[in-house]
Amino acid sequence: MVFDIKPHEREIFRLIEQSAIELGYEVYVVGGYVRDRLLGMPSKDMDIVCLGSGIKLAQEVAGALRPIPRVTVYSRFGTAMIKHGDMEIEFVGARKESYRFDSRKPTVEEGSLEDDQNRRDFTINALAVSLNERNFGEIIDPFGGLHHLEEKLIKTPLEPGKTFSDDPLRMMRAIRFSTQLLFKIDPGTLSAISKYKNRINIVSQERISTELQKIVLSDTPSIGFKLLFKTGLLQIIFPEMANLQGVEIRDGRGHKDNFYHTLEVLDNLSKHSKNLWLRWAAILHDIAKPATKRYNPDHGWTFHGHEALGAAMVPRIFKNLKLPLDGKMKYVQKMVRLHLRPISLTKDNITDSAIRRLLFDAGDDIDDLMMLCEADITSKNPNRVNKYRSNYELVRQKLKEVEEKDRIRNWQPPISGELIMETFGISPSREVGMIKTAIREAILDGDIENSYEAAYQYMIEKGNEFGLKTVV
């Protein structure tokens, strides 16, 4: 079969062909670029394999381009990269062994195109397009990759145990591609993942998390998480999440399976938001349910405090997964901590002060929080779903009204600690904090107006209660 070369590709393909002729090399486009193009998806990363030195070929190609691009050489890997328009083109010599992906650094040997295709992860990633004069544009497909693209199948080119021991990250990649492309994993390949799952332990956490993030960011992330669980990988790489699975029954009463519930919430949310960190909040919102689970014959199953404990678990989980420990983590913590707040507001207690408190605690993230809470409705009972939905509608309406009136979202209480110290001639102390909190609470409760004057007056009263006298 011949590759349908697009006009924008023809020029660069011909130039690579000419450069390879100059050096006496054979040359091919390989891997993800060929796969994505055959799937009709855009791709900006092109991998070129030659029978010779990838670095020399990159230099030859760069020399023929105008303006001449910079060649970035990775001598440790024997590869080189140039940028051409919005494309990144990477050049490498064909090889027998994969050292690039492997932590154990086997010896590298030059090889044929066939050797190079043999050492790739999946048949759909082992397709090559010839850029040589004798068969320019021909697709070289030794493992039936074209057929598997049509069948939507992820399969290793060699016996899966061999492909996975070359680089165990490929077990995660199989699941990631299956999730992104909605492809099935070949049964033999899938059972090999279960068999070799423990090999994932030799792969760096950074590489594992890169794949995990791609699963989280796909359209239906549950597909990947279910496969990770089924193969046993999740239990190794993210045990806290695997622990959510299971239903316990006492006196004939069970609770919901929190793993599948979490996945439903994640999928629901993913239909409305591509925000990676909000998706992490969905993954983690019930993470402390196993740790807080109690059974009480009168009340059935309870998970009291799971939102607070869950928020407290976030830093360790982020650290283990090597996710950023900055504002993004804080945001996820906040979402986990607050995820029950909107639902706790029912018709009778949607008071202005409860709404002001929610606005104050959530700040600018209030819309994200509401989105998470709505995704959290997974009941199969339509009456309940309707009840929750209309309640949220009411909360949203109230949020809007109160925000328009009181502007709490980005609100800072009008009296600072400095002003309190100056007014009463005192140094930093417990009283300063107590007066500040009292002012904030009084405004949030609606006891005093949200203005400087009212807050100043209240500060004087509170100070007097503590036996303080004004000095200014």
> Where along the sequence are the contacts to ligand CTP (CB under 6 A)?
31-32, 45, 47, 101, 120-121, 125, 167, 169-170, 173
Please provide residue 409's backbone torsions phi and psi, each rounded to the nearest 5 degrees: -45, -50
Element (H, E) at 253: strand 253-254
Considering the complex, state which of residue 60 and residue 167 has its C-beta at the smaller distance from ligand CTP: 167
- Please give the Cα distance from 10 to 150 (Å, whole number): 25
CB 35 within 8 A of CB 66: no
Beta carbon of residue 167, minimum distance to ligand CTP (angstroms, whole number): 4
Beta carbon of residue 132, minimum distance to ligand CTP (angstroms, whole number): 20
Question: Reduced to 3 DSSP states, what percent helix, strand and coil does the chain have, rounded to the nearest 5?
Answer: 55, 10, 30
Considering the complex, state which of residue 47 and residue 240 has its C-beta at the smaller distance from ligand CTP: 47
Considering the complex, state which of residue 218 and residue 222 has its C-beta at the smaller distance from ligand CTP: 218
Considering the complex, state which of residue 101 and residue 260 has its C-beta at the smaller distance from ligand CTP: 101
Beta carbon of residue 82, minimum distance to ligand CTP (angstroms, whole number): 16
- Please give the Cα distance from 184 to 174 (Å, whole number): 9
Beta carbon of residue 102, minimum distance to ligand CTP (angstroms, whole number): 9
Considering the complex, state which of residue 55 and residue 174 has its C-beta at the smaller distance from ligand CTP: 174
Beta carbon of residue 75, minimum distance to ligand CTP (angstroms, whole number): 19
Beta carbon of residue 125, minimum distance to ligand CTP (angstroms, whole number): 3
Burial label, 261 (beta-carbon count in 10 A; 0-12, 13-18, 19+): middle
Q: Which residues pair with 302 in a beta bridge?
A: 294
First-last CA distance in the chain: 89
Beta carbon of residue 433, minimum distance to ligand CTP (angstroms, whole number): 51
Residue 454 tokens read as 């009212």
CB 293 within 8 A of CB 255: yes
Neighbours of 221 (CB within 10 A): 22
Considering the complex, state which of residue 122 and residue 458 has its C-beta at the smaller distance from ligand CTP: 122
Considering the complex, state which of residue 217 and residue 312 has its C-beta at the smaller distance from ligand CTP: 217
Helices (H) and strands (E) in the chain, counts: 24, 13
Residue nearest to ligand CTP (CB): 32
3-class DSSP assignment, residue 96: coil
Considering the complex, state which of residue 55 and residue 329 has its C-beta at the smaller distance from ligand CTP: 55
Residue 78 tokens read as 């024997």
Q: What is the DSSP letter of 425?
A: T
Beta carbon of residue 32, minimum distance to ligand CTP (angstroms, whole number): 2
Burial label, 204 (beta-carbon count in 10 A; 0-12, 13-18, 19+): exposed
Tell which residue, 101, 90, 86, 12, has the closest CA to residue 48.
90
